[in-house]
Amino acid sequence: MKTKLILFLFVISSLIFAQSANEVLKKIQNKFNSINNFTANFSQNYFNSQGKDAGKSNGKFSYKRKNKFIVESKSQLIISDGQTIWNNDKRFNRVVISNLSDDPTSFSLEQFIFDYPPLCKSRIVKDETVASGEILIEMIPKDQDLQFKIVKIWVSAEGMVNKLEVIDRGEMRYAFQFSEIKINQDLPDTKFTFITPKGIQVIDLR
């Protein structure tokens, strides 16, 4: 009887935890449905499969609903209008153009917030790296179809994404952190289109 009681309590607590994770994900989705856009500073770190630092970058990030975004750093400019993505490597004076849906390296917040959760098992993680008021959600794919093994999302009390960490199938880890988030800025759709300057090499993969 005691064993059955322990098992019952374990199952119930697991269901409550899973439900709480789903509630937090719903809170994020509601937040993103309630805003039109936001801008932020970002820092990105890469770590190899041994956990060693493999590089980092920082810059400006702009997001607008329907998968429009801009990632701008010192050496790179990535722009999406929701369908097409332009990846401008400033060091080599070239731009690679592809369909957003065909680019597995694209940073689409909407995929992590809306598309991936139904395809993953989610849970709340109690972690010492979580700031006051934040909640850490971990998502693990239910099958092998997705290109990552684990996604972690640090969520503010207001439902905004403060940090996102991805571990891919090759054990590479990518950490993307936001700061100075400003909601509903003046961001016209024209800002999310790359105007190809003269003299730049164009590689069109569409």
Alpha-carbon distance of 41 to 72, in angstroms, equals 10
Q: Answer whether residue 141 shows pLDDT above 60.
A: yes
Nearest C-alpha neighbor of 114 from the set 202, 206, 26, 50: 26
**Looking at residues 130-147, what average pLDDT do you find?**
90
Residues 44, 96, 148: CA angle, nearest 5 degrees: 45
Helix (H) or strand (E) holding 149: strand 148-155
User: What's the pLDDT at 105?
Assistant: 61
3-state secondary structure 182-206: EECCCCCHHHHCCCCCCCCEEEECC
Residue 2 has pLDDT above 70, yes or no: no
Collapse the DSSP code of 60 into the 3-class scheme (helix H, G, I; strand E, B; otherwise coil) and give the result. Answer: strand
- In the chain, alpha helices (H): 2-34, 109-110
Q: Is residue 51 over pLDDT 60?
A: yes
Question: Would you tell me how many other CB atoms lie within 10 Å of the CB of residue 23?
Answer: 11
Percent of the chain with pLDDT over 90: 74
C-alpha to C-alpha distance for 26 and 159, rounded to whole angstroms: 9
In the structure, how many helices (H) and strands (E) does the chain have? 2, 12
pTM score of the predicted model:
0.81
Hey, what are 179's tokens?
A: 């700061």
Give the CATH fold of the 2-204 domain. Answer: outer membrane lipoprotein receptor (LolB), chain A (2.50.20)
- In tens, the pLDDT along 15-36 reads 434 448 999 999 999 999 999 9
Give residue 42's pLDDT.
96
Residue-level pLDDT at 18:
47
- Could you tell me the residue ranges of all domains in the chain? 2-204
DSSP 131: P
pLDDT above 60: residue 150: yes
Contact at 8 Å (CB) between 158 and 30? no
**Cβ neighbours of residue 113 under 8 Å, at least 6 residues apart?**
25, 28, 29, 32, 161
Between 188 and 6, the more confident residue is 188
Q: Residue 158: pLDDT above 70?
A: yes
Query: Pairing mode, if any, of strands 201-204 and 94-99?
Result: parallel
Mean of the pLDDT values across residues 75-84? 95
